[in-house]
Amino acid sequence: MARRAANQNGKEGRFSLGGRASGVLLHPTSLPGPHGNGDLGPPAAAFADLLAAGKQRFWQMLPVGPSGYGNSPYSALSAFAGNPLLVSLERLAEEGLLDEAPAPLRNTGRVDYAVSGALRGRALRAAFDRFQTGARFAKDRAALQEFSAAQAHWLPDFALYSAIKERQGQKPWVAWPRGLRLREPEELARAARELARETAFHRFEQFLFDRQWRALKRACAARSVGLIGDLPLFVAHDSADVWAHPRLFDLDPEGGLSAVAGVPPDYFSSTGQRWGNPLYRWDRMRREGYRFWIDRLALLLSRFDAVRLDHFIGFVRYWQIPATAPTAQEGRFRKGPGEELFAAVRAKLGALPLIAEDLGLVTPQVTALREKLGLPGIKILQFAFGTDPHADSFLPHNYPRASVAYTGTHDNDTTAGWFYEKVGGTRSGKQTHKERRAALEYLHSDGAEIHWDMIRGVLASVAMLAVLPMQDLLGLGDEARMNRPGTACGNWEWRLTGSQASPRVAARLAKLTELYGRSAR
């Protein structure tokens, strides 16, 4: 893999994490819009306007790669590619790649990935046909060639992987014919010849994603809104990355899993979380100078102004689960790469604006690494009132300045859902009542607008950055939860409707943001 150029944002850029600020967490698929899921088109620009009106400095997102198993953005088909579902068909019509955008689908407040994917797939292929032959797109075709050359360290593998996957009926690569699965040169060459048009189509999709992404980033910057991305520690087994670079992962000789990633039992799940991702061969990554990680971070920081490192504790120690184990209860801790990885990254890319998601079984070694690297950690207000062994550290009066404070994250229930959870949910009735009482007393709240009281709590804290899930700004309940860890269905589907994100919400947020000295203006 070729080296990527260093991030162009600079060490102390316009959207430095060093100042007191706030932002909103909303994944682009959750935006409103006409074609089944939110995308990078007009609704994204409108949301940037809403953030600007609310005096926010940052828009935080989940990973934006092409989602894989369970539609999870944390199980992407590539650690480098963008999600074609985010390409705006309205923008393609404006550019003349489509005669007109497809007829709108009704926004039910949920993403139907099958319907949206089919509609968008047909439209993107029609746009590709026009792009290939239209005289007016000659300059764009030249731009595509430049884009392909700049992304040569990942794009050819991803395009071929995607084309073969389609021919194989979307089977995971480990179920492909042996020659393709094990990347025998003659079989790869034959597939590349036979699937040349399909691989060109997937390069085209990535070109469109990149062009629309950069346009959105410029639009956000013009409104003084920076973007915060998310980097999962592990990658999916069924991904172009593992297929193209099997030597870097703990696999058996046929490409199967020897062990998988996850976390032991914790606050989220009594049986732990069995993620199923392959584990890294850190010894081999070290010998290659951690090129995979350098390339990955360089690309991500060309898209975002700052990046959240998901499961930061895994850089110190990670939970190794036997591939045959049905849950994460059976496993053991293994040593991660630690400071050595970050030293290699910094040597190539310089100091980077990173946030360490240091939740879970945090050891003194995890804290020591985060502090040595100078990275802010994460504080979740919902955890302050429950059974988490570090509950006191999640109370706002105990936050260190070098932290990012949330009411909750994508893995939590919404604040209203958490507070009003029905008996028989994830907590006992006694525990739910205890947490409610503690929250009301601490926040000096009557519970009528618990979501705004929790928002006030994190905004008023000394934490350098406060990030608020959009669902909490709207006071939405359990029906708007983004993810339930340990479950495979019904996640990542929540969407805004057009009327929910009102100017009234932005005005109220702006007032609190200014009151607590976090205003972007």
Radius of gyration of the chain (CA): 23
Question: Which residues, 6+ apart, have CB-to-CB distance to 305 below 8 Å?
Answer: 9, 13, 14, 15, 58, 226, 227, 228, 353
- Residues known to be catalytic: 310, 357, 411
pLDDT of residue 7: 36
CATH architecture under which domain 21-248+279-316+337-515 falls: Alpha-Beta Barrel (3.20)
pLDDT of residue 267: 65
Give me the residues of the chain with pLDDT under 50, please. 1-13
- Greatest CA separation for the chain: 70
Which position has the token pair 């005289």?
135
Question: Which residues, 6+ apart, have CB-to-CB distance to 254 below 8 Å?
Answer: 174, 178, 181, 182
Sheet containing 317-322: order of strands: 273-278, 259-263, 317-322, 332-335
Three-class DSSP labels, 230-271? EECCCCCCCCHHHHHCHHHECECCCCCECEEEEECCCCCCCC
Ordered by start, the domain boundaries in the chain are: 21-248+279-316+337-515
Q: C-alpha dihedral over 379, 382, 387, 389, to 10 degrees? A: 0
For residue 333, the surrounding DSSP H or E stretch is: strand 332-335
- Given a contact cutoff of 8 angstroms between Cβ atoms, the answer to whether 366 and 313 are in contact is yes
> Which residues partner with 59 through β-bridges?
24, 227
CA 201/CA 204 separation, integer angstroms: 5
Question: Which residues, 6+ apart, have CB-to-CB distance to 470 below 8 Å?
Answer: 24, 25, 26, 30, 496, 501
pLDDT of residue 499: 79
- Given a contact cutoff of 8 angstroms between Cβ atoms, the answer to whether 28 and 494 are in contact is no
Tokens representing residue 490 in the block: 């019904």
Handedness of CA 278, 410, 226, 36 (dihedral sign): positive
pLDDT of residue 457: 98
The residue type at 486 = G
DSSP 317: E
CA 472/CA 457 separation, integer angstroms: 13
CA 58 to chain centre: 15
Tokens representing residue 250 in the block: 């703990």
